[in-house]
Structure 1
Amino acid sequence: MTRLWTPLQIGRMRLQHRLAMSPMTRLRAQADGTPGALAARYYAQRASLGLLISEATQPSAQGQGYLNTPGIHSDAHVAGWRGVTDAVHAAGGHLFIQLMHVGRVSHPDNTPQGTQAVAPSAIAPGDEIYTASGAQTIPVPRAMTQQEIAATVQDFRRAAARAIEAGADGVELHGANGYLIQQFLSPNANQRQDGYGGPVERRMRFALEVVDAVAAEIGAERTAIRLSPGSRLCGIDEGPDYPHLYRSLVAALASRGLAYLHIAHNGNDALLRDLRTLWPGVLLVNRSGRPLEDVAQDIDAGLADMAPVGRWALANPDLVHRLRLGQPLNDEDPTTFYGGGAAGYVDYPELQSAERALLSA
């Protein structure tokens, strides 16, 4: 793990190691989408991870899919996130807010106006979603007009500006896990016959327009994107030619000077090597299911510059200290992952300061 502890420059941030905190939905925002005091405490506890990527945050009311997820499109949201960023910065960390429009992965019961979801095409994902009355089948979305697509691009742009206003160090665009940006990329979710559907170059268009609008607003050095090549989450099926799609997309993104590219790796190592070659900047690679001893494997192999971690960071606010000192980790409690209060959120135990000093001596 030698390279794991070497510094790294990302945009305006000087990071002291190569770990980062993955975006993890926790469903603990207030009913109007404002993050509260517990969120500030949660993120600040984990500031030693250096780069924290926030839970998915909707750029507009239309972009909400789940209950109690945070937003960044109102004055109240900005004030709530300002409390989070101030706490993280005071503790020595940095925060990128992840912007996610869910697209078709929604239900009218979960949105403020009870509206029908929008998507590239009127195709349901074939999944269920949790609502206040229990699990319900996700209904068929409404296909977006070109005017709505343009308006959604602007929603992302304004949300990015709001994130910077709230003190964030940047934003990560969620182009993964079956949500709106990936829906445009995937031929089984995008069957449009206009300039946003069909060939790979047209299916990439929405992602590139969002990236360009956000980068123009807040600077490319504060703009990042997360992709999940080959993911089948939320009913996505990108087909057997998906490696060509992602080689083309990453090649198109490579000249834009973004802060970083974040890959949720789904096992295609040959594609990962190709993307590493195509991407000239900082690359984050998240491999789910890897053992702890392999956390730095991609960094040491030259396939990644940073290793984002999820559940380990969730259950261990002092993960960096534990890894440096070779101390055992807390076990996470899956029953408290989503929703609730402080339990399973801000009450995981840390190493005692005296123990840290003794072990560091």
Structure 2
Amino acid sequence: MEDNSISREMNSPTPSQAKKRSSLLRVASVGAIATVAAITILSFSAFSSVQQGAMTSGKQVCSLSAGPKVVTKGTPMGADLAWSSQGQLAVATHQGIKVYAAKNCAATSFSQPKVHQATGPVWSPDGSKLLVSSGAAGDGEYVLDSTGKVVTNLDFPAGIANRVWSPDNKLIVNSLDIHDQNNVKETINTVDANNGNKTATTQLPEGAVVGFSADGKLALVQHFSKDNKTATLTLWDVNAGKQAGSASFPAAAFGAQLSPDGSLLALDQKGKIEIYNTADGKLLTSFANKATGENAPTLAWSPDGKYLAEGADAITIYDIATKKLATTLGQADGQHWITNLTWSSDGTGIASSTTPLGDASSDVTVNVWQLS
């Protein structure tokens, strides 16, 4: 279960903003794609050959305009992305949800006018259903079929931060903020995707979920000190309802991403990206982060966990095994920032959204890249 793409707010979060966590919303979306890589035939014909050997380059396949940027509560909103196992690219914006063919960026017949201010799309592993949030008051979340028809409306109050599909396409695991007077409590829910009924609920004793592993069995939980000055990350066993082991990690300056199998943790710290082993909490390696500007980068693991992509003023892809930079592509100018990334299910393609930093009327651009 998972979700493979993670989008970021344009401003760096502070401890007091932890419950908003828009910047970490998509940690689940990368995983859903990864789960199905071994069981589906990729229909993205432009990427018909699976990578052999190390990745060294990439080229742009196509581009599309996702519409104008919107500023909500002082924060620029771009486009959230999800790439299905069937080669469908879901693009969620303040204007709604649209689906394009990833091989050529052509619009499909997908249509669902009920979803407004769409965020965080997540395809089911088989690509037959799409989970998407609606920011409009009282709308909650929708499960749509591949044409955009509503399968069910998940009637949750505002506060869903992360979600992931089960490998069998039947269940959705999400984290939900429950506000009780001045306190905020977090629950992890397992929901039937066909009718919206909860099948299991676990309340966290403390902390906030910032992401799931690809199968939904592990949750990454952020804990803040009482004075809100320090924070740590731990792993939570969703099925057992308890912390998984005793390993803990420093909180990320901007974001955290579990690898699809939950064995590695990437933290985007100031000036560097750190990779940790989740089994014992040990630092495995780090990469210098040369992104310029004050905006928060976004991280996305490849479906096989061999590569980590960072989106900032360019797309930078790191080879975890060799501990080296694999390739850089999609260089943006000083007036744009890459705010979201999503991988194809076989890892040979990546899509990015680029948001203008200045005029809110400027269009958000989505680019699709072939990797080799």
Decide which structure has greater helix share: 1
- Above 0.5 in TM-score? no
Decide which structure has greater strand share: 2
Tell which has more relative contact order, 1 or 2 (C-alpha 8 A, sep 6+).
2
Give the TM interval when normalised to the shorter protein: 0.3 to 0.5
